[in-house]
């Protein structure tokens, strides 16, 4: 842990340098005190909660053994492989679609709300930031639960929950991206007599597009992961398949779902990394 | 006269615009410009010199209304442009080109796309946004790139060009506008001596061959003395000198930069006014490069 910087050596004393050899020792002492404080706090909390570190660590191996015994897919569970694959693909496509549509909406709003190429009327920019904030700060699970009431258990509910959070997140990221584009080229186009939309399309978007795509791909990845969880609630996709087998004690098929999901996410991540590199 | 500026003033405190001057308007300066008047004829090469924060950038940006002047009048080609409504500004701006210290190219686009940006002021919103240029415009863009010696770099992305090459793309972009006036804001401040000379010579050639009026902000006094038809000295927002290079004696130059210790170092005060090039290669601006490399 880094201790806060000690008082600056007497400023304004002219040419005299403040030589203080105890400074280093005092700094080390502060770090040491910090570490001790953390350990003491941990011990106190453990006592209050009746938590035993040794017992907790000791039970880990047994838990893993149990997991491997039960969750490893059996030959029997492989019969469900086609179902698992089709459901995983459909879940992934669903979340990718939600993210891309969210990105399009996000780009429109963040262009208008940015400080560099946004509309000049400040209340509009403030409102866009507020909208992004609201959608971003409502957790995806909360959206799913809310939407379940009106849209019932179907794929569209999951799609909407993914869309709304991705929209909030991406608008926020895109606003930052547009805020950081260099103002020079924007000024140059203005000096050529370019109009607002010409500046947006000929300077704003080209300068931001690599970052925008990178954020969008990141969101596609996260959304595929989240979609699994959303599926548990909405009773659709791979999440539903997992839940079905898990609650009926068919752990081997549930394990198969987990493995397929992990492999799928890794593949998507690798693909989007390649896409990112080709766009720089 | 093509351009007449009278009693131009700019007060940053009065107008709470968020437009930034490229780091030149010193904080606490009550008036960035006050009572500046001058005229510029067709094909004239005018340089504006003065210490950092003297208002050179502000002056140039007032002329194409990237910065709103607080008071005074600007007449360009018979039109009063200081009070032109925003909707009609682009008609004027497309005839007043600008080139910048940091080139200000859209660095993710190719050289040829950047040159074509010069036509945006003449195109409608849709065609301009989508980059739909006419065959004539494209042919002309290639011609201009050839003319600045960059024909083979047409499809090179702007961020892969050297500083001097970027600035020449900037010049080609401004020529694409068919401008009557070119405003050059420290065009060579980020360039090495060889590229600097090349850019200055290109600018002078444009004034001679095409009759374009160039107004150039410079930190390099030796270049100003060598290239200008007329020199304007600014200090603390006021015009303190105007005259031919021969009239800008070392005493005059010292007076323009007076009280600015940092820039004093660069002023070739020892050089007799007849042989300004003597101090050349070393005389470089101390002013830090504002935006850095693109």
Q: Residues B143-183: pLDDT tens digits? A: 999 999 999 999 999 999 999 999 999 999 999 999 999 99
Encode pLDDT of B81-94 as tens digits. Answer: 988 888 889 899 99
The answer to whether the beta carbons of residues A224 and A268 sit under 8 Å apart is yes
Mean pLDDT value across chain B: 84
Select from B92, B97, B129 the Cβ nearest to the Cβ of A202: B129
Residue A270 structure tokens:
């690798």
Taking CB atoms and an 8 Å limit, are A193 and B120 in contact across chains? yes
Q: Tokens 């009431």: give the residue.
A: A149
Domains of chain A, residue spans: 76-279
Q: Which of B96, B117, B183 sits opposite A202 (nearest CB)?
A: B117
Distances from the Cα of A62 to the Cα of A54, A58, A256, angstroms = 14, 8, 21
Tell me whether strands B45-49 and B213-217 are parallel, antiparallel or unpaired: parallel
Q: CA A20 to CA A23: how far, in whole Å? A: 6
What confidence category does residue B96 fall into, taking pLDDT thresholds of 50, 70 and 90? Answer: very high
- What is the reported pLDDT for A220? 92
Going from N- to C-terminal start, the domains of chain B cover: 1-95+182-191+215-294, 102-178
Strand order in the sheet with B213-217: B96-99, B181-185, B213-217, B45-49, B230-235, B238-243
Report the chain A residue with the minimal C-alpha distance to residue B122: A193
How far out from the chain centre does Cα B26 lie?
19
Subunit contact B128:A189, Cβ cutoff 8 A: no
In angstroms, the CA B39 to CA B49 distance is: 16
Q: A210: which chain B residues are within 8 Å (Cβ-Cβ)?
A: 108
Least Cα separation, residue B35 to chain A (angstroms):
24
As for the ipTM of the complex, it is: 0.81
pLDDT at B286: 40
pLDDT tens per residue, range A64-82 = 898 888 888 888 888 888 9
Q: Which fold has domain A76-279?
A: MetI-like fold (1.10.3720)
Contact A184 B104 (CB under 8 A): yes
Question: Please, what is the end-to-end C-alpha distance for chain A in angstroms?
Answer: 36
* pLDDT over 80 at B27, yes or no: no
Does the pLDDT at position B285 exceed 60? Answer: no
Share of chain A above pLDDT 90, in %: 56
Find the mean pLDDT for residues B211-222. Answer: 93
- Least CB-CB distance to B118: which of A192, A195, A196? A192
Choose from A111, A184, A211 for mutation: most chain B CBs within 10 A: A184
Q: Which residues of B touch A207 (CB under 8 A)?
A: 106-108
Q: Indicate the residue of A187, A190, A197 with minimum beta-carbon distance to B129.
A: A197
Using a CB-CB cut-off of 8 Å, the residues of chain B touching A190 are 66, 93
Task: Report the percent of chain B where pLDDT is more than 90.
Answer: 68
Cβ distance B100 to A187 less than 8 Å, yes or no, reads yes
* Alpha helix positions (H), chain B: 56-63, 89-93, 111-116, 125-130, 135-147, 163-175, 193-210, 221-227, 250-257, 261-264
Please give the pLDDT value at position B126: 94
Q: How many CB pairs below 8 Å do chains A and B form together?
A: 96
Nearby residues of B61 by Cβ (< 8 Å), 6 or more positions away? B19, B21, B67, B185
How far is it, in rounded angstroms, from Cα A255 to Cα A71?
4
* Interchain pair B107, A192: CB under 8 A: no
Query: Nearest CA to CA, how far is B268 from chain A (Å)?
Result: 32
Portion of chain B with pLDDT greater than 70, in percent: 82
Residue B258, pLDDT score: 79
CB–CB contact A191 B122 (8 Å): no
Helix/strand/coil percent split, chain A, to 5: 80, 0, 20
Query: For testing the chain B interface, which of A111, A182, A188, A196 should be mutated: the one with the most B CBs within 10 Å?
Result: A188
Question: Are the Cβ atoms of A206 and B173 closer than 8 angstroms?
Answer: no
Mean predicted lDDT score pLDDT of chain A: 89
B106 and A207 in contact by Cβ < 8 A? yes
Q: Which band of pLDDT confidence, cut at 50, 70 and 90, is reported for residue B230?
A: very high
Q: Which residues of B lie inside 8 Å of A (Cβ-Cβ)?
A: 20, 64, 66, 89-94, 96-98, 100, 102-109, 117-118, 120-123, 125, 128-131, 170, 173-174, 177, 183, 291, 294
**pLDDT exceeds 50 at position B118:** yes
- Interface probe, candidates B129, B141, B190, chain A, greatest A C-beta count within 10 A: B129
A201 CB neighbours in chain B (<8 A) are 128-131
Q: Is the pLDDT of residue B41 over 90?
A: yes
**pLDDT at residue number B30:** 62
pLDDT band at A279 (very low <50, low <70, confident <90, very high): confident
Asked whether the predicted pLDDT for residue B283 surpasses 70, the reply is no
Which residues on chain B are in Cβ contact (under 8 Å) with A183?
20
Q: In this predicted structure, what is the pLDDT of residue A16? A: 60
| Model pLDDT, residue B259 | 57
CATH number belonging to domain B1-95+182-191+215-294: 3.40.50.300
């Amino acid at each position: 842990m880094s201790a806060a910087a000690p008082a600056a050596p007497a400023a304004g004393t002219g040419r005299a340098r403040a030589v203080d050899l105890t400074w280093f020792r005092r700094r080390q002492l502060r770090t040491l005190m910090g570490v001790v404080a953390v350990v003491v706090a941990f011990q106190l909390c453990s006592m209050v909660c009746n938590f035993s570190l040794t017992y907790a660590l000791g039970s880990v191996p047994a838990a893993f053994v149990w997991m491997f015994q039960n969750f490893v897919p059996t030959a029997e569970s492989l019969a469900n492989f086609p179902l698992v694959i089709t459901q995983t693909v459909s879940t992934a496509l669903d979340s990718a679609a939600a993210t891309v549509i969210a990105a399009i909406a996000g780009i429109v709003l963040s262009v208008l709300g940015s400080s560099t190429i946004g509309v000049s009327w400040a209340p509009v920019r403030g409102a866009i930031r507020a909208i992004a904030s609201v959608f971003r700060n409502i957790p995806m699970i909360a959206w799913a639960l809310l939407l379940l009431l009106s849209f019932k258990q179907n794929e569209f509910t999951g799609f909407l929950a993914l869309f709304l959070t991705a929209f909030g997140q991406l608008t926020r990221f895109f606003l930052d991206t547009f805020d950081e584009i260099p103002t020079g080229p924007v000024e140059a186009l203005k000096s050529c007599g370019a109009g607002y939309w010409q500046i947006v399309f000929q300077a704003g978007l080209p300068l931001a597009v690599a970052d925008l795509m990178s954020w969008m791909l990141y969101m596609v990845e996260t959304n595929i992961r989240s979609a699994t969880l959303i599926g548990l609630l909405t009773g659709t996709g791979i999440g539903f398949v997992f839940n079905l087998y898990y609650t009926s004690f068919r752990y081997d098929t549930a394990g198969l779902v987990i493995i397929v999901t992990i492999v799928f996410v890794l593949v998507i991540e690798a693909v989007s990394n390649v896409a990112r590199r080709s766009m720089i | 006269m093509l351009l007449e500026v009278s009693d131009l003033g700019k007060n940053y405190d009065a107008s709470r615009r968020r437009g930034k001057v490229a780091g030149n308007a010193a904080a606490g300066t009550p008036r960035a410009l006050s009572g500046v008047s001058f005229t510029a004829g067709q094909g004239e090469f005018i340089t504006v010199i003065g210490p950092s924060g003297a208002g050179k950038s502000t002056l140039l940006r007032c002329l194409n209304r990237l910065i709103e002047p607080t008071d005074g009048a600007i007449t360009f080609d018979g039109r009063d442009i200081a009070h032109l409504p925003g909707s009609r500004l682009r008609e004027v701006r497309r005839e007043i080109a600008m080139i910048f210290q940091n080139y200000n190219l859209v660095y993710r686009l190719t050289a040829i796309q950047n040159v074509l940006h010069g036509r945006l002021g003449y195109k409608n919103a849709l065609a301009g946004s989508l980059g739909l240029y006419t065959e004539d415009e494209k042919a002309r863009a290639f011609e201009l790139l050839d003319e600045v010696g960059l024909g083979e770099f047409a499809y090179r992305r702007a961020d892969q060009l050297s500083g001097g090459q970027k600035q020449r793309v900037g010049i080609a972009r401004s020529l694409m506008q068919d401008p009557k006036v070119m405003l050059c804001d420290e065009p060579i401040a980020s360039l090495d001596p060889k590229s600097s000379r090349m850019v200055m010579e290109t600018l002078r050639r444009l004034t001679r061959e095409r009759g374009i009026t160039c107004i150039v902000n410079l930190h390099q006094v030796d270049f100003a003395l060598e290239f200008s038809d007329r020199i304007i000295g600014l200090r603390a927002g006021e015009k303190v000198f105007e005259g031919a290079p021969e009239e800008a004696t070392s005493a005059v130059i010292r007076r323009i930069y007076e009280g600015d210790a940092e820039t004093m170092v660069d002023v070739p005060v020892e050089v007799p006014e007849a042989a300004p090039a003597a101090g050349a290669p070393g005389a470089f601006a101390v002013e830090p490069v504002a935006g850095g490399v693109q």
